[in-house]
Amino acid sequence: GDSVTQMEGPVTLSEEAFLTINCTYTATGYPSLFWYVQYPGEGLQLLLKATKADDKGSNKGFEATYRKETTSFHLEKGSVQVSDSAVYFCALSANQGGKLIFGQGTELSVKP
């Protein structure tokens, strides 16, 4: 079946460091890929998405490129801030009806 695997956390970085959170997927067909962010005590918010191979999603300085050849959708940011501390979820949607399959989440902590 379809699945998403994320790098394990927690990830701790200093402010202004470079961030990469790895995400790989297994899916039949041509899924859409998403990154969601969850701040403490809140629900998930869409961070960015890509719907076909080689698409790059971007938002708030975060980027991820849909790589079909490596079945990956790694999240990157050039310079993290304390306010980026959150849990990040990679997800895919491969079927009609909009059902999502989530990775287990990666907790990011950014220190001043």
Partner 1 sequence: NAGVTQTPKFQVLKTGQSMTLQCAQDMNHNSMYWYRQDPGMGLRLIYYSASEGTTDKGEVPNGYNVSRLNKREFSLRLESAAPSQTSVYFCASSGVQYNQPQHFGDGTRLSIL
- The whole-angstrom separation of Cα 77 and Cα 62 is 5
Nearer to partner 1, 3 or 14 (CB): 3
What is the total count of residues that contact partner 1 (CB under 8 A)? 25
- The whole-angstrom separation of Cα 30 and Cα 47 is 20
Nearer to partner 1, 17 or 72 (CB): 72
- The whole-angstrom separation of Cα 55 and Cα 70 is 14
95 binding partner 1? (CB under 8 A): yes
Residue of the chain from 23, 80, 93, 110 that contacts partner 1 (CB under 8 A): 93
CA angle 103, 104, 108 (to 5 degrees): 105
What is the contact mask toward partner 1 in residues 25 to 64, using x (rule: CB under 8 A)?
Answer: ------xx-x-x----xxxxxx--x-x-------------
- The whole-angstrom separation of Cα 61 and Cα 102 is 22
Q: What is the binding site for partner 1 (CB under 8 A)? A: 31-32, 34, 36, 41-46, 49, 51, 89, 93-100, 102-105
